[in-house]
């Protein structure tokens, strides 16, 4: 009998993602990574776009139209979210899949979207979405939202 105990594998890590699995951006991943979120976001903004940076608004209060809940967000994040939500529908077809999914989630105020919904918006197959952002490697903090049992 071995003196080494077997590793404990959490049930959460064994769950498989499906077309109905929601995805979101994990900002904690960005904090732990060596990447800077604001630098990445600036690199995604169109250089010819007229974006007004108002440094006086560090925080912006947003009201959820469905629940009436008030959420305070970073002013920069709000500006970028507004920018991406106004892009033409075909913008996602002109960028990498990971960038497109990231921008779609950002434009959606980082509210979870299923792989099926993401596939419709980026105009790529659901299987491609699942293989790319549903696997063990995390790209740009995009993670599946798996419910704990």
Tokens of 24: 């979101």
Residue 148 has pLDDT above 60, yes or no: no
Task: Please state, in angstroms and rounded to a whole number, the distance separating the CA atoms of residues 80 and 40.
Answer: 11
Of the ranges 62-76, 96-110, 117-131, the best mean pLDDT one: 117-131
CA count, 13 A, side-chain hemisphere, 5: 3
The pLDDT of residue 98: 93
CA count, 13 A, side-chain hemisphere, 84: 24
The lowest-confidence range among 20-29, 59-68, 124-133 is 59-68
How far, CA to CA in Å, does 126 sit from each of 26, 31, 122, 139? 21, 29, 10, 17
Sign of the alpha-carbon torsion through 104, 108, 111, 116: negative
26 or 78, greater pLDDT:
26
Beta strands, E only, the chain: 22-25, 59-63, 70-74, 113-114, 142-144
For 58-97, the pLDDT digits (tens) are 777 777 777 888 877 777 777 777 787 787 777 777 888 9
Residue 46 has pLDDT above 70, yes or no: no
Q: What is the DSSP letter of 20?
A: T
User: Is residue 10 very low, low, confident or very high in pLDDT (cuts 50, 70, 90)?
Assistant: very low
């Amino acid at each position: 009998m071995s003196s080494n105990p077997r590793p404990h594998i959490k049930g959460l890590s064994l769950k498989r993602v499906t077309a109905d699995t929601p995805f979101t951006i994990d900002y904690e991943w960005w904090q732990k990574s060596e990447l800077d979120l604001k630098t990445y976001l600036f690199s995604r903004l169109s250089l010819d776009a007229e974006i007004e940076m108002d440094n006086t608004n560090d925080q912006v209060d947003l009201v959820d139209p469905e629940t009436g809940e008030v959420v305070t967000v970073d002013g920069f994040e709000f500006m970028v979210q507004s920018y991406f939500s106004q892009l033409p529908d075909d913008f996602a077809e002109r960028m990498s899949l990971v960038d497109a999914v990231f921008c779609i989630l950002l434009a959606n105020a980082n509210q979870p979207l299923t792989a099926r919904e993401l596939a419709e918006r980026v105009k790529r197959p659901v299987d491609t979405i699942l293989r790319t952002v549903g696997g063990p490697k995390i790209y740009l903090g995009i993670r599946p939202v798996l419910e704990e049992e």
